[in-house]
Amino acid sequence: MLDKQEQPVEQEFLSDLKRSIEIQDEENRRLPSKTFKPSGMKCMRSMYYQVIGAEPDKENSSYIGVGICNAGSDIHERIQTAISQMKDSGMQCEYIDVGEYVRDRNLTEIQIVSNQGMETKLYHERLNMSFLCDGIVRYKGKYYIVELKTETVNKFWSRKEVAQEHYNQATAYSLALGIDDVIFIYICRDNLDMKSFMFHVTDEMRAKLVAFINECQEYIDMETEPPIPKEASAKFCQYCSYKSICKGV
């Protein structure tokens, strides 16, 4: 007979495993760097908080959240490897080393910060923007930025175009790397099926994004929070780490 408080050993083992994943995640958490991030260019107010180094909300780690995040990174790496092997399979596709591309094109505003697996961390000095690029390919003689996104099965099956929340991210990459076309590959988390969409970035879109970043920088210089955007809602703010300080929703 087990004591009331006691769990069978396999249950206890699993509880400890889950808790250990969460402890490790909490211990490895770092404040984001005080730079603009293409993936966070949806809300100027949250960009402001990040660049001034505001304390993000304390959220308890969840082993499921950690698992989803790690699975996404693993899938990314496998797809990147598969893209890099297309040439060996006889396709007209070359996976371009992002660091070499930056050096060859003499993109002097960009610093190569580090290589993380197949991703290259870059920093754009003028815009104070740091970013990881999933990859650049030369496919059938033309250069494209490749951006990979994993998503839930429901989102995947209804996907018919690039998600609006990814427009600024693609535009930021285009702005920094001087490539007009971004191939988005959306990957279903459940069965790893894939869909692709082309996103063409125009001069007007790049100019609009620069103006958006510059406006945010003006608020930073004035030490004044940008106003709460009219789009603010439970859905819009769902993944924001600055809800407590913002009080927008």
Out of 43, 98, 137, 188, point to the residue binding ligand SF4 (CB under 6 A). Answer: 43
For residues 28 and 238, which CB has a smaller minimum distance to ligand SF4 in the complex? Answer: 238
CB 177 within 8 A of CB 107: yes
Residue written as token pair 């790397």:
177
Q: Identify the three-state secondary structure at position 65.
A: helix
CB of 41 to ligand SF4, least distance (A): 11
160 or 247: CB nearest ligand SF4? 247
Helices (H) and strands (E) in the chain, counts: 8, 8
Site string for ligand SF4, 180-209 (x = CB under 6 A): ------------------------------
How far is the C-alpha of 55 from the C-alpha of 52, rounded, in Å?
A: 9
Report the C-alpha gap between 71 and 1 in whole angstroms. Answer: 39
Smaller CB separation from ligand SF4, 135 or 248: 248
With 0-12 / 13-18 / 19 or more C-beta atoms within 10 angstroms meaning exposed / middle / buried, residue 245 is middle
**What's the order of all strands across the beta sheet hosting 135-139?**
93-96, 135-139, 142-151, 181-188, 194-200
Q: Least separation, in Å, of the C-beta of 90 and ligand SF4?
A: 46
At its nearest, how many Å lie between ligand SF4 and the CB of residue 150?
Answer: 22
- Residues 15/23, Cβ–Cβ less than 8 Å: no
Residue number with CB closer to ligand SF4 (5 or 164): 164
- When asked if residue 246 is in the footprint of ligand SF4 (CB under 6 A), the reply is yes
Query: Would you give the binding string for ligand SF4 spanning residues 213-242, x where CB under 6 A is met?
Result: ---------------xx--x---xx--x-x
> CA separation (Å) from 34 to 25, 39, 71, 103, 104?
21, 14, 27, 25, 28
- Report in angstroms how near the CB of residue 80 gets to ligand SF4 at its nearest: 29
Q: Tell me how far, at minimum, the Cβ of 145 lies from ligand SF4, in Å.
A: 25
Rounded CA gap, 83 and 153, in Å? 23
Q: Which of 40, 41, 45, 183 binds ligand SF4 (CB under 6 A)?
A: 45
- To the nearest whole angstrom, how small is the minimum distance from the Cβ of residue 244 to ligand SF4? 9
User: Which CB, 35 or 73, lies closer to ligand SF4?
Assistant: 35
The torsion region of residue 53 among left (phi > 0), alpha (psi -120 to 50) and beta comes to left
User: To the nearest whole angstrom, how small is the minimum distance from the Cβ of residue 27 to ligand SF4?
Assistant: 26
Strands 142-151 and 135-139: antiparallel
Residues at the site binding ligand SF4, with contacts judged by CB under 6 A: 43, 45-46, 228-229, 232, 236-237, 240, 242-243, 246, 248-249
